[in-house]
Structure 1
Amino acid sequence: MFVPISNTPRDYAWGSTTALPELLGTPVTGRPQAELWLGAHAGSPSRILDPDDTGGAEDLAAWIAADPATTLGGDRRGDTLPFLLKLLAASEPLSLQAHPTLERARAGFERENAEGVPLDAPNRNYKDALHKPEIVVALSDRYEALCGFRPLAEVREIIDLLVTIDNSQTAPRWELYGPMVHLLEDSGTERETDAEILRSVVAWVLSGGEEVQTLVGHLVRTAEKALHPAHAHMTDPYTPSLETVVMLQEEYPGDPGIIISLLLNRVALRAGEALYLPAGNIHAYLRGVGIELMAASDNVLRGGLTPKHVDVPELLEVLEFHPLPVPYLVPSHPAAGVSVFRPDVDDFELVRVEAVSGAEPIGLSPAGPAIVLCLSGTLTVAGGADDAVLVRGGAVYVTPDEGRLYFTGEGVAFVAAPGARSE
């Protein structure tokens, strides 16, 4: 079956008022349209456009619960859809955050249940027993993000740069930077590894207090000074990181996350480039339009740039502190017009299909149920028993019995499905 689905965009304050309407060809409402969810997550399950197709079920979660054999298939891995597809349009930075491993999510969910913490409590960390790895593919010309801890050598260079530019200071740098002086010392010794240094610095920053607030103010003032054209020859290639400090101060004045931003890789994706963010990778999307695919979880541990709950001890246990390269996810191209973004988990994979009029049909074989979202042009999608015509902004849920799918027409679509099972 091909079942047309839709949803109402989430109006989070950081969302763009125009980007999703421009992408999907939908009306501008005057309110932020931050995320469009396509899936069966209880927080915003997709709406069934014609409930007569689904025995009266009005949303995807209800239909799956009523008929898992049809909706998920006879060889399903569980009785819920394992992935959630989102369109995201950020005009302001999102919170610094990380997601737990499957084992930690299960333990945390059971612990908070045993403690009687309500699922909707603002101090609840674990809303379910699932992990939440995710990928994001840039749709806008630039998609900017912070992700993962950068090498300590780069952090030292940034701090030394700021100390050099701030020639008005009278106090030694270790008095200004407090425990961050560890970043200017040799690491990799028996005393402290790079990961241990980063952990101690993040713990100190998130502890708050007068020293941290003083450092935030000092960093912002020095970054503003460093961005003066007179210092351009000194700040490259760290200009984007310094600009981020100033931008975050405008959005979240005095937030300790401003300091943490300097510890992280600063990324600007071009359209079509992707990141994969596994468990423990601290990240924050800054601005841009992208398509996300993730495990169907709502477990988020926040680390700043937010008025929401920040559980410092739990976050410190979840974070991966080892410096890592930018986690680019390079797609494979098994056929013309096909780009497959496949992470190292089997919860999901994302495929970009670009069909050209008059060309041979493009064939895909999803490993289970699929969601197809058309982002441009007009496409016909045909399976073993059914088909659908999609125009820009249109989406369908495809049941597994359709088997191999064939795309014809002129346009671009993304297909979300479970990943191939691990052997």
Structure 2
Amino acid sequence: MKTLIKNAKIVNQGKIIEGDILIENELISSIGEHLDFTNVDIIIDAKGNYVIPGAIDDQVHFREPGLTHKANIETESKAAIAGGITSFIEMPNTNPQTTTLEELNKKFDRALETSYANYSFMFGGTNDNLDEILKVNPKDVAGLKLFLGSSTGNMLVDDPEVLERIFASTDMVISVHCEDEATIKKNTAHYKTIYGDDIPVKYHPIIRSEEACYLSSSKAIELAKKTGARLHVFHLSTGKETHLFDNAIPLKDKKITAEVCIHHLWFSDKDYDEKGTHIKWNPAVKTSDDRAQLWEALLDDRIDVIATDHAPHTLEEKANVYTKAPSGGPLVQHAMVALFEAYHNGKISIEKIVEKTAHNPAILFDVEKRGYIKEGYYADLVIVDANAPWTVAKDNILYKCGWSPFEGTTFKSKITHTIVNGSLVYNNDQLTGVKAGKRLTFNR
């Protein structure tokens, strides 16, 4: 099978060049101007639109197994490819949790059957599964996930001795959710004495506070420095935390890295009155000043990766009172167009978007032959029309949960085509039905 993308603005490694891309079977075979299109099976005229490497989302919750009334690998991977995300790394807080090799392998088997995007999984650490962690081959998984603050699935690791042993015992990338549990419990108890369970959601960023985030992040970084562990801090939400990270060395040489998520770059505490629990995440969306500092750290490379933390719940679950409404929301279908909206608003360049969503996740997790537009690499490609306004509405949402925090938002840019491993899987608002996802492999 040969596919030619012509007349494209190709975005790769900090540059935008105009030209064509020839795909043969799963791989990019040639990049250049006026490529020969004889004997080509499919020709896509990009008409001056941008072609970017498919995003590698390093943090999603696709809810399978055990929570499939909210989402599953099939439905959410379809939403991901419609949103320009061609590879995902899924989290371990499912039911049962991914804390044994047996459960990990079941997930890989399920993804092989149902995933429309490329996939890998995080192995979960707990207070009592160090023996299982030590059995994991780092070549087989993206990394290890530790929850240092409780969240959906309650996989809290709160034993300091266990935590240090884990940090000292594995060469895998350790990705952490950082919030100090004692601080959160104290703050929750305070507001429950005033409001009971029906705490106004505007207090969420005060309950899961800057202090809670900073205490946990700083302790994790201190432990990583002590043990020499390779640490990746998920979903920074405060400006204060950004000063824990530096940009003095290239990403490939960093031992301690950071991620920011779309919702912390888009929303602020001023949005709680309108959006309510639909923007209740852990860590919480905080102030507009925090958001500005996150953008600053992202652009100066203290923050290395942009992800989604896609974590769907049903509308019925979200409608509960504060203490019973789960945290998290669906994002994979709308993350890339939200970033292009930031480009239109002068906040970020398209080259930087590609760096933070594709190049850097590939570097950070040692992903093999993905994350770039290079000859010999897998053809995971996305075409973006930067001037095609559309509005998010119920009838164009692909998430199984059926809603989005972006409903009613009009985006200026649109994903027109997505190619996974050389196969056209999304074409002008339509899924083609081709299931082309493959298991991610790692250069380790």
The answer to whether the superposition gives a TM-score over 0.5 is: no
TM-score of the pair, normalised by structure 1: 0.28
Larger radius of gyration: 1
Q: TM-score, normalised by structure 2?
A: 0.27
Higher strand residue share: 1
